[in-house]
Structure 1
Amino acid sequence: MIALDKLHSFIAYIQLEKNYSNLTIREYEKDIKQFIHFLEVEGVNNLNDVEYVHARLYVTNLYDEQLARTSISRKISSIRSFYKFLHREYNIRDDAFQSLYHPKKETKLPHFFYEEEMEKLFEGNKASDPLSIRNMAILELLYATGIRVSELTSIELRHIDSNYGVVRVMGKGRKERYVPVGDFALSAVEDYVLNSRTKLMKKTSHPYLFVNNRGEHLTTEGVRYILNGMMEKASMHSTIYPHMLRHTFATHLLNNGADLRSVQELLGHSHLSSTQVYTHVTKEHLRKTYMNAHPRA
């Protein structure tokens, strides 16, 4: 594979200097390796020989694969960053991708649960066995804080401060923030730690808050599996994924009068534009309410 040493140098750069998360680094590496493979197929054996025509052909191939515009946009950004690094460190020309068109993101509104749906989900999963207690703590904490599933699985016991009602989470780019936790979630977590976690841990030992049925550190895939099981138990047939609870958290806050800046800070968004999508959700909710309720709508 061409330029493997330069790719390794770039990965080391975004890991050590840019402090990107492991997930982001894997995505960069995957995108760039895919592009390098394309170059080899096209007979381009030197990164310095890449021209605009190659960049255009690569993007055309991505569209032919029927990838989402957001995925194509991310891949272009990955390669641009790679070439910017190559230009600075190895004086390799980086003009091929500079004028390349960036596809606009699709304007999809995030899916969320209505408040009555959340109540049904909570009510349908009340039980006193260790796994049910753990599952309730996971659901309460995701809904109460709006944290990402990767942030949830990274929480250690020492990161929960019951006295101040906050949890310390490590967000994207390894940015640390403190998120308030409501009484319902704190009680559920306390119940889990006292009456469930020790039973599940068995002979294992680690600092992470949430564990699987073997006492091992719970993974993000494990959380997805748990949430799907909770939906089935509550006899709810709609789709659920962890990020949907993050959308629900933000939407419910805005519906109940929270200001956008506060929601931005709670979600850990670097840019307000990332949070503004939820204002469109709340406006759409108001529009549907009006259309359904007004006699002459």
Structure 2
Amino acid sequence: MERFLDHLRVERGLAANTLEAYRRDLARYRAFLLGRGVRDGAMAAAEDVRGFVAHLSAAVHGDGRRYRASSVARALSAVRAFHRFLVREGLAGDDPSAGVVRPRLPRSLPRPISVEEAARLLDGPEDPSPVGLRDRAILELLYGSGLRISELVGLDVDDLDLEEGSVRVLGKGGREREVPVGRAARDALARYLSAGRPALASARSRGALFLNHRGGRLTRQGCARILARRARAAGIEARVTPHTLRHSFATHLLEGGADVRVVQELLGHASVATTQVYTLVTRAHLREVYLTAHPRARRPTTAGGR
């Protein structure tokens, strides 16, 4: 399995978080196989893979919650990739996972905040402190450019081109893309770079764009806490995470008339099918507005049309 993980890291260039997810899922698979007396993954049979899927589907976390179907599906994807690798490398004769049915996933649509809620979040009281300038720049960039949280905290100062209005982003699978930065985000970033970051910087900062109060690179968890705090202050009741702003970025662009393939490029999705889930959100929103606003959308008509 270590050889397979090396392949993912070196040849496919997967991100550290994705690699760690593969490692966890394959460690569970290895432990399950050992429990059935299978000491070599190349010797696993289809019933072993099906048994692993059934085992995960019935398993519970330490707090009593059952594994979600999406978690089981992700683990099966890792197992399939592992067995395909063994066949490709000549280490196994066949792929025992090929005929195993993937768990049926319930359709889960993204939950963006509204345009009005986004305005409340971003247009809150100005905080001229270094941390306040940093937080405003983070919010404007997350919503204004649709970055993943891992992309945002991984940014270096040199990735920004405020004059051109763009940011260079290293996305999933090591794919690099250039994303536009709007006027509001450019202004917030300029203020942070001139008056915020210098006050936070220390010898350990190096090129990191967003810094914590100790001068180190801001973490994903730190960024999530910032956003949760700002959402509460703006009176937004729904849970708002960094990915919520990414959902909102995509949904609001499509509602404004943007082409789905343009949104795909901005989000850094490898497939347009991933982006098209946001078109379902906008259709759901249109239907909700219609049913709420049109006088004859819900009310049954009487005989004779009166």
1:107 is aligned to 107
2:63 is aligned to none
Q: Give the Å deviation of 1:106.
A: 2.3
Percent identity, aligned pairs only, is 39
Q: Where do 1:1-297 residues align within 5 Å?
A: 7-65=1-59, 66-297=66-297
Q: Give the Å deviation of 1:202.
A: 4.1
Q: Count how many residue pairs are aligned between Structure 1 and Structure 2.
A: 291
Q: Is the Cα contact below 8 Å between 1:125 and 1:234 reproduced in 2? A: no
Instruction: String of CA shifts for 1:73-100, please: whole Å, max 9, x gaps.
Output: 1111111111121223243234321111
Instruction: String of CA shifts for 1:121-146, please: whole Å, max 9, x gaps.
Output: 12335221111111000000000100
Q: Which runs of 5+ in 2 are unaligned?
A: 60-65, 298-306
Matched AA of 1:170:
L
RMSD of the TM alignment (CA)? 1.3
2:303 is aligned to none
SS of residue in 2 equivalent to 1:167: strand
Q: Which runs of 5+ in 1 are unaligned?
A: 1-6
Matched AA of 1:28:
Y
Question: Aligned equivalents of 1:202 and 1:78: distance in 2?
Answer: 40
Q: Give the Å deviation of 1:119.
A: 1.1
Q: Give the Å deviation of 1:203.
A: 4.6
SS of residue in 1 equivalent to 2:276: helix
The worse-fitting range, judged by mean Cα deviation, of 150-159 and 60-69 is: 60-69
1:3 is aligned to none
Instruction: String of CA shifts for 1:218-243, please: whole Å, max 9, x gaps.
Output: 01111101111111222322201111
Q: Is the Cα contact below 8 Å between 1:125 and 1:136 reproduced in 2? A: no
SS of residue in 1 equivalent to 2:177: strand
TM-score (norm 2): 0.92
Question: Aligned equivalents of 2:50 and 2:125: distance in 1?
Answer: 52
The worse-fitting range, judged by mean Cα deviation, of 250-259 and 79-88 is: 79-88
Question: Aligned equivalents of 1:39 and 1:179: distance in 2?
Answer: 45
Q: Is the Cα contact below 8 Å between 2:87 and 2:95 reproduced in 1? A: no
Q: Is the Cα contact below 8 Å between 2:42 and 2:86 reproduced in 1? A: no
Matched AA of 1:86:
L
Q: Give the Å deviation of 1:289.
A: 0.6
Cα–Cα, structure 1 residues 142 and 49, in superposed 2: closer, same or farther, change >3 Å? same
Q: Give the Å deviation of 1:16.
A: 0.9
Q: Is the Cα contact below 8 Å between 1:125 and 1:132 reproduced in 2? A: no
Cα–Cα, structure 1 residues 49 and 202, in superposed 2: closer, same or farther, change >3 Å? closer
Q: Is the Cα contact below 8 Å between 1:211 and 1:217 reproduced in 2? A: yes
Q: Is the Cα contact below 8 Å between 2:202 and 2:216 reproduced in 1? A: no
Instruction: String of CA shifts for 1:234-268, please: whole Å, max 9, x gaps.
Output: 23222011111010000000111111111111111
TM-score (norm 1): 0.94
SS of residue in 2 equivalent to 1:20: coil
Matched AA of 2:43:
D
Cα–Cα, structure 1 residues 273 and 50, in superposed 2: closer, same or farther, change >3 Å? same
The worse-fitting range, judged by mean Cα deviation, of 252-261 and 86-95 is: 86-95
SS of residue in 1 equivalent to 2:178: strand
Q: Give the Å deviation of 1:155.
A: 0.9
